[in-house]
Amino acid sequence: MDALTTTILSGVVVAVIGAFATAYFAVRRERRAKQAALRERRVEALAEIQSRAYSVFVDLKGLTESIVRLREEKMPEGTAKASTWLTFFDAYAGLAQQRDDIAKEMQSLRAYYEMQTSYLETTSRNLFPSFDREFEQRYMPLSRHLYSAQTRRDHQQIDKMLNTSAVDWWFQDFYETLSWGF
């Protein structure tokens, strides 16, 4: 009977050790799978952030170059044709639209970064805020001085002058004068 008990006990011990080993390796395999999934998620997030940041950089660089080209153009001095100024203001408005598109693109990138922050490593988390600060330092001066409210009013005034006949223009001025109470 001692041999049977010893055999049974050794079988039970081996089964218990096997169960613990199986559980240990199953947990370890699950951890590795989670880490691999997390690593994959990090790589995807960083690739997307890098792609979007590069797109913002290229767009901002293009905007800056376009602004420099527009400022370097020889504009007629004094009283020039209104159509010449309208062309200038149309280009200016296009740049303002491009500026607004870049701002939206950057806002989208910030939101994406915030959603992905929990997946990123600490060292990776510091890269985007640095890029964001650099963007703001370069973008804000452009944003402040490009197509202000006064420029927009001038553009609308010239556009109105060119798209309105002289008679309509005269009646419009006359009506505005009457509305002031003169």
Distance CA(8)–CA(131), nearest Å, equals 67
Q: Is 54 helix (H, G, I), strand (E, B) or coil?
A: helix
Encoded tokens for 64 = 């800056």
Q: What is the mean pLDDT of the chain?
A: 80
User: pTM for this structure?
Assistant: 0.65
Burial of residue 163, with CB atoms counted within 10 A of its CB: 0-12 exposed, 13-18 middle, 19 or more buried: exposed
Which range has the worst mean pLDDT, 27-31, 56-60, 99-103, 149-153? 149-153
pLDDT beyond 60 at 169: no
Domain residue extents for the chain: 43-147
Determine the average pLDDT of the residues in 45-62. Answer: 92
